[in-house]
Amino acid sequence: MEISLQAPVVFYLGSIPVTSTIIAAWLAIAVLIVVSFMATHNMTLIPGKLQNFIEFAIEGLLGPCEQFAGARGRAFLPIVATLFFFIVVANWMGILPLYADYDWVHHVDWTADHTGPLRSANSDLNITAAMAMIVFVWVHSTFIRVNGLWAWIKHLTWGPPPVLELISEIARPVSLALRLFGNILAGEVLLLVMNSLVPYGIPIVFMAFELMVGIIQALIFAMLTLAFLAMATTGHGEEEHHGASH
Amino acid sequence: MEMTTLAAGLAIGLGAIGPGIGVGLGVSKAMEAIGRNPEASGTLFLPFILGLAFAEAIAIYALVVAFVLIGKA
């Protein structure tokens, strides 16, 4: 079994290569747009089933936002909830039968009937790294907006060895991206191996496990984003937040 | 080639020891806390999951290294 971390290119758009993970990501976005349109196009005071469910999910995320960031929490909800919903939908869609583009095993016979045209969006480091970079820029621009440029420079050069905080700030997006990518890729490989060992019945258990991993990883990504944002907006230096970085 | 495969196995095998201990300690303390104060389970959940994510990330790095090594083999 040979594993390539790079997603296969499906076609070229001009000179831009379009990989199977990009298509999977846009499919997840399309599902999100359709569902949120259906949930909000005629909202009622007494919510219907779909609207009720979406309200439940949003309120479930608003709780931790206000718990971590207090009065500012509501302002953080858009980015946190967007990341959470995109990641969870992309992860769960990755379990569907169509998402089985195991290009790394094409030359192995037993996977011939498991292959499909797509691959789970977050099993591509490019996508998770892009999200981590968005979070990185967002957190630091929020820091500068709230505390000012001088406080930001002071924050980055804080501590006995001045580079310590800088390294920790750079390590954050790296670990954020690698954590999600590694978990989802490991899940894909796990399902593949289980499918090859016991093709019937048993993989269902692991698919259920992957559903759980999918939502927990989405929750972790969103909550870490929230924690970074909360740290960036509370006054720095004297509190406990230096211990809880990366 | 065999050495690279061995390296990949060792990378994830050794890399999982530390996070395993860390996750075990975290879960044991969380269970203890819930046992003493069951009402706190709701407030414990998010910090608990976040703490586990930090421990687990180390194992994930090892896993990515193992994948890269296997890809080279």
Provide DSSP, A42-93. T--SS--HHHHHHHHHHHHHHHHHHHHHGGGHHHHHHHHHHHHHHHHHHHHH
pLDDT one-digit tens code per residue, A152-196: 888 888 767 777 888 888 888 999 999 999 899 888 888 888 877
The answer to whether the Cβ–Cβ distance between B71 and A5 falls below 8 Å is: yes
Q: Residue A243: is its pLDDT beyond 60?
A: no
Average pLDDT over residues A101-113: 46
CA A11 to chain centre: 25
Q: What is the DSSP string of A118-179?
A: ---GGGSHHHHHHHHHHHHHHHHHHHHHHH-HHHHHHHHT-SSSTTHHHHHHHHHHHHHHHH
State which residue of chain A sits closest to B54, comparing Cα positions.
A246
pLDDT one-digit tens code per residue, A34-87: 999 988 887 777 778 888 888 899 998 998 888 888 888 888 999 999 999 999
Q: Domain span at residue B28?
A: 2-72
Out of B53, B68, B70, whose CB is closest to A220? B53
Chain B residues within an 8 Å CB radius of A104? 71
Mean pLDDT over each residue of chain A, to the nearest integer? 82
The answer to whether the Cβ–Cβ distance between B67 and A246 falls below 8 Å is: no
Q: Residue A132: is its pLDDT beyond 50?
A: yes
Q: Which helix (H) or strand (E) holds A16?
A: strand A16-19
Q: How close, in Å, is residue A211 to chain B by CA atoms? A: 16
pLDDT score at B1: 61
Chain A residues within an 8 Å CB radius of B61? 178, 182
In this structure, the number of other CB atoms found within 10 A of the CB of residue A77 comes to: 18
Which of the pair, B3 or A102, is modelled with greater confidence?
B3
Residue A54 neighbours by CB under 8 Å, 6+ apart: A35, A36, A39, A40
Chain A residues within an 8 Å CB radius of B70? 1-3
CB pairs under 8 A between A and B: 47
* CATH number of the domain bearing residue B32: 1.20.20.10
pLDDT score at A136: 95
ipTM more than 0.95?
no
Q: How close, in Å, is residue B32 to chain A by CA atoms? A: 22
The rounded distance, in Å, linking the Cα atoms of A115 and B29 is 43
Task: State whether the Cα torsion A215-A221-A223-A224 is positive or negative.
Answer: positive
How many structural domains compose chain B? 1
The answer to whether the Cβ–Cβ distance between A179 and B60 falls below 8 Å is: yes
The answer to whether the Cβ–Cβ distance between A182 and B70 falls below 8 Å is: no
The answer to whether the Cβ–Cβ distance between B46 and A64 falls below 8 Å is: yes
The answer to whether the Cβ–Cβ distance between B61 and A2 falls below 8 Å is: no
